[in-house]
Structure 1
Amino acid sequence: MPTTIEQIKRINEAGPFHADWQSLSQFSVPTWFKKAKFGIFTHWGLYTVPEYRNEWYSRNMYIQGYPEFDHHRATYGEQKNFGYKDFIPKFTAEAFDADDWLKLFKQAGAQYIFPVAEHHDGFQMYRSELSHYNAFEMGPKRDVLGELKQAATTAGLHFCTSNHRAEHWWFMSHGKEFDSDVHEPLKKGDFYWPAMPEPNNQDLFSKPYPTQEYLEDWLQRVVEIIDRYQPELLYFDWWVQHQAFKPYFQQMAAYYYNQGAKLGYPTGICYKYDGMAFGTGITDVERGGFSEAKPFYWQTDTAIANNSWSYTTSLEYKSINEILITLIDVVSKNGNLLLNVGPKPDGSFAKTDKEILAGIGKWLGINGEGIYGSEPWKIAREGKTNISEGMFQDTSKLKYGSSDIRYTANNGAVYAYVLNPQEQTEIVLKSFHEFDEKNEPVFHGVISQVEQLGVGKVDWRIAEQGMVVQIKPTPDQRPVGIKIVLE
């Protein structure tokens, strides 16, 4: 039986974590997470079946004038005859193999996985006693989340998951505006329930407020995931910062942290915007980052494509170098990269996705010693090119050059990553010049040797402009890693 609201509250009253921000501020970022640096996010569900535009198909197919609306009618017929629910029998996942997924992710160098357990559409990708609309009872008739948990354990990767149900309060509502299969009366347990009018989804006080019935159902669904799958991290999309969610979110967070304390595994919650009080979880920046290193640990989540989180036939893929530059930049500024890939409807991965993941893994196999387990150096970066701070900045396609460097520290060494070597055979690390503008030493240590990762020792010298290092260009002009060994 699902854990009841009364049981959740009783456990939280016993502690050690209670359902308030002051108590939840006892939270500490798991050590493994700060060492991992790189994880894989996956968006896979019913919304993948049409392979059209993006993962918001379930909402947009009911909005008259939207491309999804017209595409749906041309491809499947009118929404009253073929609605979103009718994709369920088509979602058979015949090629899904959790062990193959984890093999691919591990070869890419990922240290943790973050499959979406339930997206805004309300279809659960796991076994549930709270709704029949789940992958165990319908569609593939498999506990997708459970299989991925087992595969991650076998592969030695950390298992995490995300819940995006908060937005389901309004996500299917446009289907009520014309003759479709989204119609009243809707009651708890119905797939489309409650389909309330869509608000300004950035308004923290928008009405109608989610009801107690809806919020308690949201809470129980998350607790069911915690109880059954014991994820090491949870992630929530943006709408949980709505005022109505606050007491329920605090109950969930306390319950999760208490269960982790009870069972002996560290836990953490990744949140966007200000969905949690600062210091009670892990700050997450969607498709963006920070311009400078932060004293707190954080994560960015972004996708392998610029225009969708799920697989479609029109993906605008990022290059391997663009993703590697994002990873290096984030790590140098005290963060992790959570990279999303979208499986095809049958559960396999497209050729381009696999090639990109393989390229990342190959680079990390050579350069990972300055990434995994590293910390920001006293100087995070040099060079003129830098991301603008905030969300939704990673599609700007910044033009990095050979003077754009990012630094990390690990194993007693300093690592300098040249983001775009541009076929240069000699680069300058300005942070190692002898004196700054005040005529004071910038770096005043003893260097025993300098290495190019994957190549070996290289020639170097300290000059007026900085440390001049001889390097060998890499295939496809991948970022170059330089290890500065100190005595």
Structure 2
Amino acid sequence: MKKGLFLLCLVCVTGLTQNIRAQQHSEQSHSKYIPPTDEKVKAKLAQWQDVKFGLLMHWGTYSQWGIVESWSLCPEDEGWCERRGPYADNWYEYKKAYENLQTTFNPTRFNPEKWATAAKGAGMKYVVFTTKHHDGFCMFDTRQTDYKITSAKSPFSSNPRSNVTKEILSAFRQEGFMTGTYFSKPDWNVESYWWPYFPPKDRNTSYDPKKYPELWKKFQDFTYNQIEELMTGYGSVDILWLDGGWVRPYSTIDPDISWQKAIPYEQDIDMARIAKMARSHQPGLLVVDRTVTGEFENYVTPEQQIPDEYLPIPWESCMTMGSSWSYVPKENFKSARQLVHTLVDIVAKGGNLLLNIAPGPDGEWHDEAYTRLAEVGEWMDVNSESIYETRPLAPYRRGKWAYTRKGESTYATYLTEVGESMPGKLKPDGLAIPDKAQVTLLGNDKKLVVKNGLIEIPAKTIQALGQKYAYVFRIDS
């Protein structure tokens, strides 16, 4: 009964508080973006910009409690860090109970091929998986710590597919996906980051690395070694997606950004050394050192939001399909219409969408997640040529319209409201269409008439198409 009450209380930690945390990543100055110079990295970045739509998965032992990933361990007075349940009043007892989840984590329904098939059906073309979040629990077979899913302490270790990172990357790679490894730079489990001599006060290292350089060097090497494991034992990897932007050189801190000016110490992880090693094993690897503007942030990653305007640099919105990054028993999933509109909006402004789905403690997604992917896929089956390999076209987004281009073709996407059918006449907002232009609706080969910039759609065409989340007009001069 006590355990049941604990779980019920923990479920109360919802995505509403996580949206506040997203503000940490919203204030980046993109004017300082540094394009890569390595030709292989440039080619990989161009490939990534063509695929547009990816899957992110946050998964770890925290799914058993249905709580926010890692953050309840962080001793900060923030909503997303709030502890619940019988251990809440004592941080030490709570951390012990949290880390003991390793001994009960047993996702026996784990089936990455099912995930890859569903994601491919939705039109996704790349995947980023959380190999390790801030709590330090490794979802891969590292040799650097025993706090991992393949440890004998974890019941799933006896499963032949216990190295879930390897299984996931392999399953998605077989479906033609680009693959990425999410990796947390901070690690709240190892003593070289949260040194027990000084109890942690916040998300940062519990000691000043300048005062204890040998301890910090130990942590640098630990991080380097874990990343090298991921770059050498898991097949081809396209993206190294690094989180925990407070682990950074002190010189990179922007005092105008609230969460950055609170960083107390130099926490230089030596990204030059890491990137050189990683690319020696994975030539062309994209390195995404989130929020740390410079040569190791090959694209920027606004979190849980879409920029208001077109951005002229490589970028990706990472967003949740529901309200939470991590698994919660009762999730509030976005509608397929909202997801399609989100994708169209992002692509029109020059970005990619990385959409998060969180597996549960049994190793399975919510049924509704599969339904949403199938619904999005139905729209993509007809309209994906307006998404893949396109580039944004001014005015990008205007009213209910979004614009992209590919070669000599322009794609004008009309975003509908719930219950709205295609009007008989439409004038793309901010886009001039010559009367002699060849205009068709994707999903219907009939050429449409253009008069005075208005596209005329016959009633039979409207009836044949039915109500859609969005209609895409292909315009060829």
Does the 8 Å CA contact 1:299/1:338 hold for their aligned counterparts?
A: yes
1:443-481 deviation digits (Å, cap 9, x = unpaired): 669512x22212332533232xx4334273766641211
- Do residues 453 (structure 1) and 469 (structure 2) align? no
> How many Å separate the matches in 2 of 1:289 and 1:239?
23
**Structure 2 CA distance for partners of 1:47 and 1:211, relative to 1, 3 Å:** same
Q: CA deviation at 1:300?
A: 1.2
Q: CA deviation at 1:271?
A: 3.5
Does the 8 Å CA contact 1:240/1:249 hold for their aligned counterparts?
A: no
Paired letter, 1:368: S
Q: CA deviation at 1:40?
A: 0.2
In structure 2, the residue matched to 1:468 is 455
Does the 8 Å CA contact 1:153/1:159 hold for their aligned counterparts?
A: yes
Q: CA deviation at 1:121?
A: 0.9
- Do residues 222 (structure 1) and 248 (structure 2) align? no
- Do residues 248 (structure 1) and 267 (structure 2) align? no
Q: CA deviation at 1:47?
A: 1.0
For residue 305 of structure 1, give the secondary structure of its aligned residue in structure 2: coil
In structure 2, the residue matched to 1:180 is none
> How many Å separate the matches in 2 of 1:198 and 1:110?
40
2:347 aligns with one of 303, 315, 331: 331
For residue 93 of structure 2, give the secondary structure of its aligned residue in structure 1: coil
1:180-204 deviation digits (Å, cap 9, x = unpaired): xxxxxx84599x9798523476xxx
Segments of structure 1 that go 5 or more residues without pairing to the other structure are 1-20, 173-185, 384-403, 434-442
- Do residues 407 (structure 1) and 403 (structure 2) align? yes
For residue 423 of structure 1, give the secondary structure of its aligned residue in structure 2: coil
Paired letter, 1:482: F
**Structure 2 CA distance for partners of 1:447 and 1:483, relative to 1, 3 Å:** same
**Structure 2 CA distance for partners of 1:212 and 1:479, relative to 1, 3 Å:** same
In structure 2, the residue matched to 1:118 is 132
Does the 8 Å CA contact 2:139/2:164 hold for their aligned counterparts?
A: yes
> How many Å separate the matches in 2 of 1:198 and 1:281?
32
> How many Å separate the matches in 1 of 2:111 and 2:396?
40
Paired letter, 1:227: T
> How many Å separate the matches in 2 of 1:456 and 1:424?
16
Q: CA deviation at 1:22?
A: 9.0
1:264-301 deviation digits (Å, cap 9, x = unpaired): xx31022332x140585111111123222222221111
> How many Å separate the matches in 2 of 1:67 and 1:113?
27
- Which residues of 2 match residues 49-198 of structure 1 at below 5 A? 49-52=64-67, 54-56=68-70, 58-59=72-73, 69-73=83-87, 79=93, 83-138=97-152, 139=154, 140-141=156-157, 142-164=162-184, 166-168=185-187, 171=188, 187=191, 196-198=199-201
In structure 1, the residue matched to 2:322 is 305
1:272 aligns with one of 290, 297, 319: 290
For residue 247 of structure 2, give the secondary structure of its aligned residue in structure 1: helix
> How many Å separate the matches in 2 of 1:70 and 1:283?
34
- Do residues 289 (structure 1) and 306 (structure 2) align? yes
Does the 8 Å CA contact 1:163/1:235 hold for their aligned counterparts?
A: yes
> How many Å separate the matches in 1 of 2:203 and 2:169?
36
Report sequence identity in percent. Answer: 22
> How many Å separate the matches in 1 of 2:405 and 2:269?
40
Does the 8 Å CA contact 2:74/2:202 hold for their aligned counterparts?
A: no
- Which residues of 2 match residues 199-214 of structure 1 at below 5 A? 199=202, 208-209=208-209, 211-214=216-219
Q: CA deviation at 1:362?
A: 1.2
- Do residues 28 (structure 1) and 28 (structure 2) align? no
Does the 8 Å CA contact 2:87/2:94 hold for their aligned counterparts?
A: no
- Which residues of 2 match residues 415-454 of structure 1 at below 5 A? 415-421=411-417, 422-425=420-423, 426-433=425-432, 446-448=436-438, 450-454=439-443
Q: CA deviation at 1:325?
A: 1.3
Give structure 1 regions of 4+ aligned residues with deviation exceeding 4 angstroms: 21-25, 60-68, 186-190, 192-196, 443-446, 473-477
Paired letter, 1:296: I
Q: TM-score, normalised by structure 2?
A: 0.76
In structure 2, the residue matched to 1:396 is none
In structure 2, the residue matched to 1:375 is 391
Paired letter, 1:447: A
Q: CA deviation at 1:485?
A: 2.5
Q: TM-score, normalised by structure 1?
A: 0.74
For residue 383 of structure 2, give the secondary structure of its aligned residue in structure 1: helix
Paired letter, 1:339: L
- Do residues 40 (structure 1) and 55 (structure 2) align? yes
Paired letter, 1:131: T
Paired letter, 1:160: G
Q: CA deviation at 1:208?
A: 3.0
> How many Å separate the matches in 2 of 1:66 and 1:117?
21
**Structure 2 CA distance for partners of 1:122 and 1:427, relative to 1, 3 Å:** same
> How many Å separate the matches in 2 of 1:484 and 1:64?
50
Segments of structure 2 that go 5 or more residues without pairing to the other structure are 1-32, 210-214, 251-265
Paired letter, 1:430: D
